[in-house]
Amino acid sequence: MAEPPVPILMYHAVATDPNDATRVLSVSPESFAQQMDIIGALGCTPLRTDDLAARWRDGRPLPERPVLITFDDGYEGVHRHALPVLAKHGFPATVFVSTGWLRGAHDMGGGLDAMLDWDQVRELASAGVEIGGHTHTHPQLDQLDDSALRHELIHSREIVGDELGTVPDSLAYPYGYSSRRVREAVRETGYGQALAVNNALARRRQGPYALTRLTVRRATTTEEFERLVQGRAIARDFARDRALTKGYALVRRARQVRRKVSRSRV
């Protein structure tokens, strides 16, 4: 019997009144609580990213109806609103932090809304939340040269290690963008697995450095969320997203070609 695919849910901000920069990809605290109730009612088993990857790597079976709950960037509402709900249900989760966006000693600015500080990150980790890497300044990794790419991966990993005492094993690509070169650099700098977006279910055959996720938005309805968790009608729900992604991928590819041509003329 074929192993079923796994829904990996991608959240960003959890906020009552998000700003314009995060509104579309935020969810309200009430919606998040309701969505976690749905996961519980459906009998799903949330896993951390490192747990899923380790099971697939070692060939161990997955629990009944596995699902991953992940958050990108490191918004303060994850601690304020999401953590109490996760704790209530006993659900593990993964928070991917951009270290240069978090409040505190390493803050370089650029955070799109109220961000976590390091005390809050430590409280999340103490509660069993996996803290993953999301680079330092949240760049498009496939647009960086090799030196800048490795700096983003290594520097952010070192900062998390210094602050928490444990280096992150999981990474989420900013904007979901990667390439063969980026994935190889992620592996070489010590990450065991990495998540993209692509709005599709994750499967073992994708490999540990290209696992796909499903976007949860402020506009995601209860019915749509149930379908995401159950892995139903994914292609239909994200048809428009995929069309936009393909179109933008062509634009980005053209930019890369022009950049290479320009460098070759220097």
- Mean pLDDT across 96-100: 98
Q: What is the pLDDT of residues 170-201, one digit of tens each?
A: 999 999 999 999 999 999 999 999 999 999 99
The pair of three-digit structure tokens given for residue 119, joined into one six-digit string = 């005390």
Residues 6+ apart with CB under 8 A from 22: 12, 13, 15, 75, 112, 113
Label residue 140 exposed, middle or buried (CB < 10 Å: 0-12, 13-18, 19+). middle
The pair of three-digit structure tokens given for residue 135, joined into one six-digit string = 């680079």
Q: How far apart are alpha carbons 202 and 196 in whole angstroms?
A: 10
- Mean pLDDT across 128-144: 98
Q: Please state the separation of Cα 122 from the chain's center in Å.
A: 19
Type and span of the H or E element at 162: helix 146-164
Question: For domain 8-232, which CATH number applies: 3.40.50.12280, 3.20.20.370, 3.30.540.10, 1.10.8.100?
Answer: 3.20.20.370
- pLDDT recorded at residue 1: 57
End-to-end, the C-alpha distance of the chain in Å comes to 56
Whether residue 127 has pLDDT greater than 80: yes
Domain boundaries, the chain: 8-232, 237-266
- Mean pLDDT across 197-213: 96
Identity of residue 232: R
- pLDDT recorded at residue 254: 45
Q: What is the mean pLDDT of the chain?
A: 91
User: Taking a C-beta distance cutoff of 8 angstroms, is the pair 76, 16 a contact?
Assistant: no
- Largest alpha-carbon pair distance within the chain? 61
Q: How far apart are alpha carbons 155 and 174 in whole angstroms?
A: 15
The number of beta carbons lying within 10 Å of the beta carbon of residue 206 is 16
Q: What is the pTM of this model?
A: 0.91
The number of beta carbons lying within 10 Å of the beta carbon of residue 28 is 17
3-state secondary structure of 251: helix
How far is residue 3 from each of residues 60, 158, 165, 166, measured CA to CA in Å? 11, 36, 35, 32
3-state secondary structure of 185: helix
Q: What angle do CA 55, 33, 160 make, to 5 degrees?
A: 50
The number of beta carbons lying within 10 Å of the beta carbon of residue 245 is 14
